Amino acid sequence: MKFHVLTFGCQMNAADSGWLGESLKAMGWEESGVDDAQVYIVNTCSVREKPEQKLYSLLGRLAERLESDPDMFCAVGGCVAQQAGVKLWNRFGFVRLVFGTDGIAQVPQALLRLTAEPKLRLSLLDFTQSYVERESALPQAAASPRAFVNIMQGCDNFCAYCIVPYVRGRQKSRRAAAVLHECTALAQSGVKEVTLLGQNVNSYGLDASGDGTSFADLLRAVAAVPGIERIRFTTSHPKDLAGEVIAAFRELPKLCPSLHLPVQSGSDRVLKRMGRKYTSAAYLAKVDALRRACPDISLSTDFIVGFPGETEEDFQDTLALMRRVVFDGSFSFAYCDRPGTASIKMEPKVSDTVKSRRLAELQALQNEQQEAMLQRMIGVRKMVLVDGPGARRGSDDPAWTGRDEAGFVVNFAAPAVPSLAGRIVPVRITQAKKHSLWGEALP
């Protein structure tokens, strides 16, 4: 069977799709281009604008091909499938499987059944009480020296603008032994860097599904896995970032000095309406503690501008927080109503014009701070985990590309023999571009 996976959304969705692809290949299926597939798997995301309409237009484009051949079909999973559910069946006859994030473990077997029983349709939308382990589906030799490892599913926080707890269910931690087993297998296949993934990794273990291991304990255990040289994690909720985890940045040399810590707003009034359960002062206290533990830590964040009720003064508080912290990067969005969230009912809404102006102002400040930070890197020695040859190979282009300790892309020239892919190489930065660094390998 030839299959093609289309993925939208976050790193967790990308990791889920990666696992699905490997599982299907382990069953003897063949991954193909979009025009040759017999089975399409669409892994959806509700975070971006108009996700349901986007899915419908994608299915509309696939319809011509799928409706002409009864042996071909489509499976739709992820957050939009969880929301739209069997509505998708009624609209598109070729959608024969809908699955939520808790149903992913059963998807390969469900697809096998569907190929054997052409009239069957299946739904895997139930939420589970605990993390459902998936069968291991790791390639013998890793395609990349970096890998994602899911450590939990779902979220208990119910931030006013977010749909995740409704579509991914309540928080369920994976057992530490399973996480460590996967990290060990990844290291044996050539992976050197793991990113531990979850909606709120800082509350790992604090749910009935966990085995009592705290997130700080898990970090220490992963750091002890032979062959794993670098550890990252995402996403972190500031209110749950424990002192022990902050201390881990000082204590664990393998824990990369970088942290994505979404603040969303610098205004306490807006943070309260968002249901974030911390103040800007509490956030700044954590930033200060992180910088005491790890002076070189690279911090990035998320912002939402124009949340309902956000005044000009609230927005100025956000800019003030940005100036105080100086983030190395940020993802920023203009607030947009999402069906099913609490904030859809909140008033007054901020006009599109004001939202666009505030977003542009915030992004201009972010660009200024990021450019200054990249300029400061010139002359600095970095340790780069090499992904492989650089994309462009002209005479002035770099031969290799990888990421430094903080996660920035570094392109650099170096002799091609032997291959540097998967190695950690010292590089001196010689040039800063808009979003990446360029340098040369050191002996």
Q: Which residues bind ligand SF4 (CB under 6 A)?
A: 155, 157-159, 162, 164-165, 199-200, 237
From start to end of 178-289, where are the E strands? Answer: 193-197, 230-234, 258-260
Question: Distance of CA 91 to CAs 88, 119, 127, 173, Å?
Answer: 5, 16, 24, 35
| Least spacing, CB of residue 165 vs ligand SF4, in Å | 5
| C-alpha–C-alpha distance, residues 180 and 184, integer Å | 6
Contact call for residues 107 and 76 (beta carbons, < 8 A)? no
What is the token pair recorded at 404?
A: 């430094």
In this complex, which beta carbon is closest to ligand SF4, that of residue 155 or of residue 374?
A: 155
Could you tell me which residues come within 8 angstroms of residue 201 by beta carbon, excluding any fewer than 6 positions away? 151, 152, 215, 233, 234, 235, 236
In this complex, which beta carbon is closest to ligand SF4, that of residue 164 or of residue 359?
A: 164
| Least spacing, CB of residue 346 vs ligand SF4, in Å | 15
| Least spacing, CB of residue 370 vs ligand SF4, in Å | 23
In this complex, which beta carbon is closest to ligand SF4, that of residue 142 or of residue 159?
A: 159
In this complex, which beta carbon is closest to ligand SF4, that of residue 21 or of residue 198?
A: 198
Hey, which residues does 358 pair with through a beta bridge? none
Q: Interior CA angle at 419 toward 414 and 422, to 5°?
A: 100
Q: How far is CA 171 from the centre of its chain?
A: 16
| C-alpha–C-alpha distance, residues 136 and 115, integer Å | 22
| Least spacing, CB of residue 131 vs ligand SF4, in Å | 16
| Least spacing, CB of residue 270 vs ligand SF4, in Å | 14
* CA-closest candidate to residue 433, choices 394, 388, 398, 381: 398
| Least spacing, CB of residue 12 vs ligand SF4, in Å | 10
In this complex, which beta carbon is closest to ligand SF4, that of residue 104 or of residue 155?
A: 155
In this complex, which beta carbon is closest to ligand SF4, that of residue 200 or of residue 214?
A: 200
| Least spacing, CB of residue 100 vs ligand SF4, in Å | 15
Under DSSP, the state recorded for 79 is: H
In this complex, which beta carbon is closest to ligand SF4, that of residue 4 or of residue 174?
A: 174
What is the token pair recorded at 312?
A: 């000009």
